[in-house]
């Protein structure tokens, strides 16, 4: 079945850029999403990209999509301590009622 | 804020007891989803609904049932709770297709369930 994989942990220094990577198996995924989860909270939609795009920028966030390699990345510029959270990559399942397939999440730790 | 509330927010129950979790939305969205979140697994879909009385199974539906008698409420029931159902449960909605079709889902705050 469909699978989404992410590295589990990333540590960066405050002010540096963070890059969180994701690979997926469903080549027919039409939309790909990044969600952020802070401790004790639900998931917050950060951004998404449609599969006919290869890049999307939204303020400090840049999403890159390589469809050939089925690779998605989220770059956070000028990372702040408030960016410390778990980041989930998700793909829209190509069949059925808009099922999303989630990765296990990447925990981003920002240190001074 | 997608107007989603979940209740209770925390619950501790004993093995073998029935448990019902409630998801309530205020914006009349047609599609609603129940996920569970466990370390190392991300979120996994339990059940979803595409309208009143219209529900279907997700990938981890064993031991769970759902009901949707009103647009605004989607209930998740554990008929006989087991320790393997200790998890954090999230409800989500998908806005309709008016305007852009990005199919994103918005999540509630979650319910932490512990089965002892």
Query: Looking at residue B2, what is its pLDDT?
Result: 65
Residue whose structure tokens are 């989803």: B33
Residues of B in contact with A99 (CB under 8 A): 45, 48, 58
Residues of A in contact with B24 (CB under 8 A): none
Which of A20, A21, A42, A46 is CA-nearest to residue A33?
A: A46
Give the number of other Cβ atoms within 10 Å of residue B18's Cβ: 10
Per-residue pLDDT tens digits for B31-84: 999 999 998 888 999 999 999 999 999 989 999 999 999 999 999 999 999 999
- What average pLDDT does chain A have? 92
Calculate mean pLDDT across residues A19-24.
Answer: 97
Beta strands in B39-94 (DSSP E): 42-51, 54-57, 64-70, 73-78, 87-94
Record: contact A104-B42, CB cut-off 8 A? yes
Report yes or no: B96 at the A interface, CB cutoff 8 Å: no
Query: Looking at residue A106, what is its pLDDT?
Result: 97
**CA dist list (Å): B101 to A31, A50, A59, B1, B53:** 10, 10, 22, 19, 24
Per-residue pLDDT tens digits for A22-61: 999 988 888 899 999 999 899 999 999 998 899 999 999 9
Q: Are A106 and A48 in contact (CB under 8 A)?
A: no
Strand A4-6 relative to strand A18-24, pairing = antiparallel
- How close B102 comes to chain A (CA, Å)? 7
Q: What span, in angstroms and rounded, lies between the C-alpha atoms of B61 and A97?
A: 16
Query: Looking at residue A97, what is its pLDDT?
Result: 67
- What average pLDDT does chain B have? 92
Strand B31-38 relative to strand A61-66, pairing = unpaired
By Cβ distance, the residue of B31, B44, B106 closest to A45 is: B106
Chain Cα centroid distance, residue A48? 9
């Amino acid at each position: 079945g469909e699978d989404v994989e992410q590295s589990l942990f990333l540590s960066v220094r405050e002010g540096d850029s963070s890059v969180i990577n994701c690979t997926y198996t469903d080549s027919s995924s039409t939309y790909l999403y990044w969600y952020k989860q802070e401790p004790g909270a639900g998931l917050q939609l950060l951004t998404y990209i449609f599969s006919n795009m290869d890049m999307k920028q939204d303020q400090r966030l840049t999403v890159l999509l390589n469809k050939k390699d089925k690779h998605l990345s989220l770059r956070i510029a000028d990372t702040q301590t408030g960016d410390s959270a778990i980041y989930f990559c998700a793909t829209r399942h190509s069949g059925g009622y808009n099922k999303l397939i989630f990765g296990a999440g990447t925990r981003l730790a920002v240190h001074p | 804020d997608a107007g989603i509330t979940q209740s209770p927010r925390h619950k501790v129950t004993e093995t073998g007891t029935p448990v019902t979790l409630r998801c309530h939305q205020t914006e009349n969205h047609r599609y609603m989803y129940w996920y569970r979140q466990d370390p190392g697994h991300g979120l996994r879909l339990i059940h979803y609904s595409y309208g009143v009385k219209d529900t279907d199974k997700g990938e981890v539906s064993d031991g769970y049932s759902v009901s949707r008698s009103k647009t605004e409420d989607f209930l998740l029931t554990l008929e006989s709770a087991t320790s393997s159902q200790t998890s954090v449960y999230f409800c989500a909605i998908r806005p309709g297709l008016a305007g852009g079709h990005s199919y994103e889902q918005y999540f509630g705050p979650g319910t932490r369930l512990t089965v002892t």
